[in-house]
Structure 1
Amino acid sequence: MSGPSHQGRLVVAALGLTQIIGYGTLYYSFSGLAASMARDFGWPPEWMFGAFSISLLAGGLVAPFVGNWIDRHGAGTVMAFGSICAAIALAACALAPGPIAFSAGLMAIELASTFVLYNAAFALLVQFDSGKAHRSITHLTLIAGFASTIFWPLTSALHERLSWQEVYFVFAAVHLLVCLPLHFWLARLSRNPKRVDHGATASQNIVEGSLPAERRQSAFVLMVAGIALLSFVDAAILIHMLPMLTALGLGGTSVLIGTLFGPAQVASRLLSMLSGNKIPALGLALISGLLVPISIAVLLGSTWIPGATAFAVIFGLGAGLASIVQGTLPLALFGSNGYGRRVGKATVVRLVTSSAAPFVFAFMMQHVGVEVTLAIFAGLGLLAVIFFAAIGRAMQRVLVQEPS
């Protein structure tokens, strides 16, 4: 297969920029501004994060509808519309006169995020050139992995000079002035497979799934369950990384160890890219799932600095691969037709489970202890591996039954 075209590289670069801005403004910036928001509205900080969790859940519930719109109208068009919605939602939060109106604006932000973040971006890459989508998705996740690295300090720097409302106004302007034009350009380039003319171009733009129709329903359930479990574990441990390491006796070094997660996450995506994506999507899913119990076993086996450092790196590697799997596994198993709808359905389960993860992990740490909690979550990672392995077993049966 030939390498990506110049236009293809421009598409990935443009999407990478809008994903950094999208995740940075709609997700990562909240933690740096939440204390000021809570103070202005007279809410305890945990209430503010509770409102954020509810907003994430609401965003997940609309994902199937957004997926259908992506299949019907094209991902680029949906993302352009989402840029306008994101700007309006950010401005609505900044103008909110009280906590109820602010909560509604926060929910609007997370609803808008379903139009512009990974799921829509992955679908655009599939619609633009599904034959190279696996490689393009890997490249995109590598670029977007720097969103937290850029926007955590950027948000703090802006907030030192501006109120949180003014910061949100700045972010709204960025969506209109940067993301909206790029998404309009991408809308002209992306193609809906259903609207492609028959012939060579259509055949090149359609990827056939590796599973026959009679096995797709059960495989889809297994895939969604596996991805949801990994998202649940990743979300819980990432949010509780610092208090968890502190509870294990690592004290002040927990912050330094926790910072290794981000670079490790990017490194796994870089390694996948440099390998030429020779590992199939299901193989990446199995590796990502296995790295969860391995990392926890290393941590529990040696809670001193070397073991904790290895844990942060191994866990980060697995989380980085999990992001790639979310976009590439549905394409590999089920093909490009109906991709947006399938990813939208998977997103509902993934976001619903991951939104509950921080509370569940905190509750378990308090009642059964951090070591037992980690062991249980390691078991959830193994369960995800079992689900992915069951898909592989079904694929092997298909190959055996096919006539030579």
Structure 2
Amino acid sequence: MHTIKVPAGIVSALGVTQIIGYGTLYYSFSILAPGMAKDLSISLEQVFAVFSVSLFIGGLTAPFIGRHMDRVGAAAVMTIGSALSSITLALCAWSPSVAIFAFAIVLLEVSSGMVQYQAAFATLVEREPRTASRSITYLTLIGGFASTIFWPIAAVLTGYLSWREIYLAFAALNLLVCMPLHYWIMRSRRASSKLEGARTRDVVIGALEPEARRRGMVLVSCAFSLSGFTLAAILAHMVPMLGAIGLGSAAVVIGSLFGPAQVMSRLINMVFGKSLSPPALAIVSATLMVLGVIILGVSGNWLPGAVAFAVFVGLGSGINSIAQGSLPLYLFGSAGYGAITGKMAAARLAVGAAAPFVFATAMENLGIAMALLVNASLGALGIAAFMAVAASTRSSTKAGD
């Protein structure tokens, strides 16, 4: 019986590309959005409306991307995605009109689906299905530094460069760092396949019986969509929102606690979470995020409350990223993993797409505290949905016994 090891080199390379991918394509947007609005002579709400539409369209492409990952290999899709990310960041930087800017942002979200966690998790599942859950935890541990690194970087760069110049620098990172790493992973995967020859690859069998899979897919998609809406709304506005409630220059520092909290939750999970099933992890994740949002809604500009908010949301988000990769593998197995996660990502992103715009509008019309409490209520529905997923796996296990 051979021992299958976690592919450390692949995980490390993907960790670097996830930090750059999330940092340049997602986290930096809220920092750069005010400069975009001023430069293009539109309101900040309109900028986030464009972002929301792009998230929605990006979500619609997720099943298509997932099927192609199964067909040609996830690393090949990631290599193409890095090139597309670079091109679209450059197109954003050049855009002379709102229409071209909006088109470029939409393309940016499509390319994001080709290079971020959905594709990275599929790469790890393809590589070694049996160790994929452990590899996913290690990868998210590294990727958790994306916000910690890129929120301050983007904030500092805005003092020296325009948002257009910053996006050109980000384009170079995707082209010169991410694309070569993804290409190397693709080549190493093909070389590994040739060496393995006819050896039957290990597979993971899902916990759900075939007749329970359809209901399971609906439940888990709803659960991730609801918790994803809560998280997307917060992440898109975290630093500006903390500044708006009166925390001033401390907002960036408090917001930067989110990243270390993500890493901390993944470390805790790595050491102590082995006894928790993926459905249980998902419930813990959604609960932590809701608690964080409630704390900020109740405490307002009280500094300890804001710190607790960033830490709790970071802890929940950290585990949520692991659950997005490990829960589908646990429920449905490794066969067709790309297509399955693509369908789930479509539902999650389509619902979460409205979050930045809806939350911005809610803050404008209801106030920040009420907007946070409404957001927490949606997150609570997500907790209930994850509980239903856990119950369905227990029922399926009993039926199997």
The 2-side partners of 1:86 and 1:153 are apart by: 21
Partner residue, 1:274: 271
- Structure 1 residue 180, shift from structure 2 partner: 1.6
Partner residue, 1:339: 337
Q: Counterparts of 1:7-26 in structure 2 under 5 Å?
A: 8-26=7-25
Partner residue, 2:288: 291
Question: Structure 1 residues 166, 378: closer, same or farther in 2, change over 3 A?
Answer: closer
Contact 2:45 2:361 in 1 (8 A): no
The 2-side partners of 1:332 and 1:214 are apart by: 16
Higher RCO (CA-CA < 8 Å; seq separation 6+): 2
- Structure 1 residue 286, shift from structure 2 partner: 1.2
Question: Structure 1 residues 291, 33: closer, same or farther in 2, change over 3 A?
Answer: closer
Greater mean deviation of Cα atoms: 253-262 or 271-280? 253-262
Identity among equivalent positions (%) equals: 47
* Residue 233 in structure 1 maps to residue 230 in structure 2: yes
The 1-side partners of 2:103 and 2:245 are apart by: 38
Supply the AA of the counterpart residue of 1:274: V
Name the Cα RMSD after superposition.
3.1
Contact 2:296 2:372 in 1 (8 A): no
Q: Which residue, 194, 204, 209 being the options, matches 1:207?
A: 204
Partner residue, 2:98: 99
- Structure 1 residue 297, shift from structure 2 partner: 5.0
The 1-side partners of 2:358 and 2:39 are apart by: 29
Question: Structure 1 residues 164, 395: closer, same or farther in 2, change over 3 A?
Answer: closer
- Structure 1 residue 147, shift from structure 2 partner: 1.4
Question: Structure 1 residues 175, 245: closer, same or farther in 2, change over 3 A?
Answer: closer
Greater mean deviation of Cα atoms: 90-99 or 18-27? 90-99
Partner residue, 2:150: 151
With normalisation by structure 1, the TM-score equals 0.87
Partner residue, 1:391: 389
The 1-side partners of 2:179 and 2:250 are apart by: 42
Supply the AA of the counterpart residue of 1:399: T
- Structure 1 residue 375, shift from structure 2 partner: 3.9
Partner residue, 2:375: 377
Contact 2:148 2:260 in 1 (8 A): no
Partner residue, 1:86: 85
> What SS does structure 2 have at the residue aligned with 1:89?
helix
> What SS does structure 2 have at the residue aligned with 1:62?
helix
With normalisation by structure 2, the TM-score equals 0.88
Count of matched residue positions in the alignment of Structure 1 and Structure 2: 399
Contact 1:134 1:277 in 2 (8 A): no
Question: Structure 1 residues 236, 170: closer, same or farther in 2, change over 3 A?
Answer: closer
* Residue 110 in structure 1 maps to residue 121 in structure 2: no
Supply the AA of the counterpart residue of 1:208: I
Q: Counterparts of 1:20-99 in structure 2 under 5 Å?
A: 20-99=19-98
- Structure 1 residue 307, shift from structure 2 partner: 4.0
Q: State the Cα deviation string for residues 263-285 of structure 1 (Å, max 9, x = none).
A: 21221112112336442211101
Question: Structure 1 residues 314, 66: closer, same or farther in 2, change over 3 A?
Answer: same
Give the gaps of 5 or more residues in structure 1. Answer: none
> What SS does structure 1 have at the residue aligned with 2:42?
coil
Contact 1:86 1:112 in 2 (8 A): yes
The 2-side partners of 1:176 and 1:400 are apart by: 50
> What SS does structure 1 have at the residue aligned with 2:353?
helix
Q: State the Cα deviation string for residues 351-396 of structure 1 (Å, max 9, x = none).
A: 1221212333344445555555444433333322222222222222
> What SS does structure 1 have at the residue aligned with 2:398?
helix
Greater mean deviation of Cα atoms: 127-136 or 88-97? 88-97
Supply the AA of the counterpart residue of 2:108: I
The 1-side partners of 2:157 and 2:367 are apart by: 39
* Residue 141 in structure 1 maps to residue 149 in structure 2: no
Question: Structure 1 residues 367, 195: closer, same or farther in 2, change over 3 A?
Answer: farther
The 2-side partners of 1:102 and 1:55 are apart by: 11
Contact 2:147 2:258 in 1 (8 A): no
Q: State the Cα deviation string for residues 302-341 of structure 1 (Å, max 9, x = none).
A: 5544444333322321121111111111111001111111
Question: Structure 1 residues 110, 292: closer, same or farther in 2, change over 3 A?
Answer: closer
Question: Structure 1 residues 166, 401: closer, same or farther in 2, change over 3 A?
Answer: closer
> What SS does structure 1 have at the residue aligned with 2:359?
helix
The 1-side partners of 2:324 and 2:135 are apart by: 13
Q: State the Cα deviation string for residues 61-114 of structure 1 (Å, max 9, x = none).
A: 111100010011100111111112112212222333322222222222221111
Greater mean deviation of Cα atoms: 104-113 or 221-230? 104-113
Contact 1:75 1:190 in 2 (8 A): no
> What SS does structure 2 have at the residue aligned with 1:275?
helix
Give the gaps of 5 or more residues in structure 2. Answer: none
